[in-house]
Structure 1
Amino acid sequence: MTPTGTLTRPQPAPRTETPRESSGLTALGPEGTALLRLLDDTFEGWGTAAGAHAMTMPPLLPAADLARLDYYTNFPHQAVVAANLDLSRAADPTTLCCDTGCFPGEALQPASLGLPSASCYGVYLDHQGRAVAAETLVTVVGWCFRKEERYEGLRRQLGFRMREIVALGSREHADRHLADFTEKITAFAEALDLPLRREAACDPFYDKGSSKAVLQRLVPVKHEFLYEDLAIASVNTHRNFFGDRCGITVDGTGEPAATSCVAFGLERWLSALTRRHGDWEAARRAVLRARSAV
């Protein structure tokens, strides 16, 4: 008990990170895997109940397409790319990484594939050049990759899974999507006894000096839900940015589609739930109770 008589929640015993974890590469055992699947099933169910079509996006995307979406301009510090070995550079390229653990740049072909930092990029590229219904919803889960200054267990990883529910169509539909899921996330967190803090954030979808960038500072396009200092979910509006860049139009009007998305970092939810409830089993029970209450 604390001095005020409030029951303190157990916290997992601290442990030293393994070399893989400190490199952003964390494995999940059976209990963690089961909880991750339970959470993802919950969030996907929210999407399909709202009318979302479940889709699967490729794990890599053409770097040229991501560049067209200003990804490497806006997020160069997070970018991760993939390159093939250049077999013409050495008789046995497999020996090149023995001393350093890395293949040198001269042993690689130009990197033409990007590893996306969010699941929704694949959705916009898949819909490019198409007309969509005014109230289109898509849900996807995918591996995402971000270069971080440091990695920390399940909190910050090089590769992690993100469930997203994406709205495409009219501006009213995109705005309503975020309002509905803001209420859903808030109610779920309350049922989980997981105190979340909602804060405005910023994604640089527009040139810093443009009128749209000024509008973004006045009317934030992104809100994050934080447990302690960690963002575990977000709601994001892009207005017609991706509609313009990908040539996605609204069926019947021909106007560029507005888009918005709701994102859940699954491993980050695992970290928050086990910190709050003490262990995998207690966290699993909390999720099952909350699912039935929301």
Structure 2
Amino acid sequence: MECTISLEGLSTSQYGQLKYACAFVDETITGIDIDGDILRITHSSPLGNAVIEERAKRLAERFSKGDFGFKENILFEHRVDVPHHEDIIAELVEKKIIKVLEPGMFIFREPFSSLMRFMDDSFVAKIARRFEGLKEEHYPAVIHADTLNKTNHFTSFPEHIHFLTHLREDLDVIEGFSQTIREIGGWKQDAPLDLNASMPKPKFTMNPSTCYHCYEGLQDEVLEGDGITVTAISKCHRFESRNHTDFGRLLDFSMREIIFVGKPDYVKENRLKAIEYLKELAAEWDVDSWMEIANDPFFTNDFQVKASFQRNQEMKYELRLSVPYLDKSIAASSVNFHSNTFGNAFNIKFGKRSAVTGCVGFGIERWVFAFLAQYGLDETRWPAAFREQYADWQKKQF
């Protein structure tokens, strides 16, 4: 089935956000296209066209409440006429460098896996270690639901959350589950199991963002001096429905962050330094890129209020790398300022005031995907500085 709705009155700057959000309208959706000012949704929902159309219109209304200055604002550009314009994903799959387990979930092999480690090491050496007093931490991939609740993730990005649970500590439940699986010949998605009765409500979720654990670790602390800078890398998880078929939208991904916690001036000054360091790196590696003001894709009725506040206060910048064969770009890094949101939520103080926070994020897989999309797998075509640094790094391995 197919339903269409008019986008007349909706700013074209909102089309991408709307298309992304429509993937969550119904689990049977197979296609979402925007042609001119018409949104077209293909689906097989037993609810029928009327329900799907009403839900899509509800989302369109959410994104249509004024443009609120959603204009491009470029901080810097480093534009390059890159040599590669072919489908890099198809090439990586054909050469068995990546194995697609399902949309958004891959196994990465050489040289992709080595490039991931090289880039992460470079982000630490070239950017993170330039901040005085840097500390490194290591975080789990799982986060307590109570902790995630303090970040407002449940209300801002509910569609992303991967919940974790387990069989109840009940011998009858455990043995009954095992016996059912045995009788039907192994796990099946439609197995006749009453999971609501067999599993408790989730206490944990998969962590959607590296910096959350940093704030959790500082809960109820009073900081000394101007502030602290922490770096960490962790596996993060976000469910994005059929958007996982889009370039770089992974279900499971690696995020390196540099996190600033402390006085406002400390965080703001380090954030400005981070922007300059990213600018230097983009030029050094000669990647086709630019940094612009951005907003998070809030999945809430007050999307416009939150997103416009973020943009007007310039709280989020994204470093975007071009993907030539798609004629589009992807956000590979972000530089964020949270004010005292997390300082208040986790009772982090300096003196009697709540700490403010900011962070710089690096999507490791996205950086590698975008770099290879621009320069391909032939190392002789890579920028000289990148090629030399990668060769030097390889000599030090193992």
The one of the two structures with greater contact order (alpha-carbon pairs below 8 A, sep at least 6) is 1
For 2:386, the aligned partner's letter is V
Aligned sequence identity (%): 23
Provide the C-alpha distance between the structure 2 equivalents of 1:34 and 1:223, rounded to a whole number of angstroms: 28
Deviations along 1:226-282, one digit per CA (max 9) or x if unpaired, are 1132100000000001001100011xx221001000000000001011011111745
How far residue 289 of structure 1 moved from its aligned partner, in angstroms, is: 4.7
How far residue 285 of structure 1 moved from its aligned partner, in angstroms, is: 6.1
The alignment of Structure 1 onto Structure 2 pairs a total of residues equal to 285
The equivalent position to 1:34 in structure 2, one of 114, 122, 126, is 114
Partner of 1:117: 208
Deviations along 1:59-84, one digit per CA (max 9) or x if unpaired, are 21110111122110111011111111
RMSD: 3.2
Matches within 5 A, 1:1-294: 9-13=83-87, 15=90, 20-45=100-125, 46-50=127-131, 51-86=133-168, 88-89=172-173, 91-94=175-178, 95=181, 98-100=187-189, 105-106=195-196, 107-133=198-224, 134-149=226-241, 150-152=243-245, 155-203=248-296, 208=302, 215-228=309-322, 229-250=329-350, 253-279=351-377, 281=379, 286-287=385-386, 289=388
Deviations along 1:181-209, one digit per CA (max 9) or x if unpaired, are 11111111112121212222224599949
Question: Which is higher, the Rg of structure 1 or of structure 2?
Answer: 2
Contact 2:260-2:357 at 8 Å conserved across structures: yes
CA change 1:143–1:194 in 2 (3 A) is: same
Q: Which runs of 5+ in 1 are unaligned?
A: 1-5
1:276 partner SS: helix
1:202 partner SS: coil
Provide the C-alpha distance between the structure 2 equivalents of 1:213 and 1:267, rounded to a whole number of angstroms: 26
How far residue 8 of structure 1 moved from its aligned partner, in angstroms, is: 5.9
Structure 1 window deviating more from structure 2 (225-234 vs 84-93): it is 84-93
How far residue 216 of structure 1 moved from its aligned partner, in angstroms, is: 3.4
Contact 1:119-1:164 at 8 Å conserved across structures: yes
2:159 partner SS: coil
1:167 partner SS: strand
Structure 1 window deviating more from structure 2 (66-75 vs 120-129): it is 66-75
TM-score for both structures, normalised by structure 2: 0.64
Contact 2:159-2:299 at 8 Å conserved across structures: no
TM-score for both structures, normalised by structure 1: 0.85
Contact 2:286-2:383 at 8 Å conserved across structures: no
How far residue 105 of structure 1 moved from its aligned partner, in angstroms, is: 3.5
For 1:173, the aligned partner's letter is Y
How far residue 215 of structure 1 moved from its aligned partner, in angstroms, is: 4.5
Deviations along 1:92-140, one digit per CA (max 9) or x if unpaired, are 4241872327776324321110112110000000100001231310000
How far residue 52 of structure 1 moved from its aligned partner, in angstroms, is: 1.3
Deviations along 1:144-169, one digit per CA (max 9) or x if unpaired, are 00111332487111110000000000
Provide the C-alpha distance between the structure 1 equivalents of 2:255 and 2:378, rounded to a whole number of angstroms: 20
Contact 1:32-1:280 at 8 Å conserved across structures: no
How far residue 287 of structure 1 moved from its aligned partner, in angstroms, is: 2.9
Provide the C-alpha distance between the structure 1 equivalents of 2:301 and 2:232, rounded to a whole number of angstroms: 28
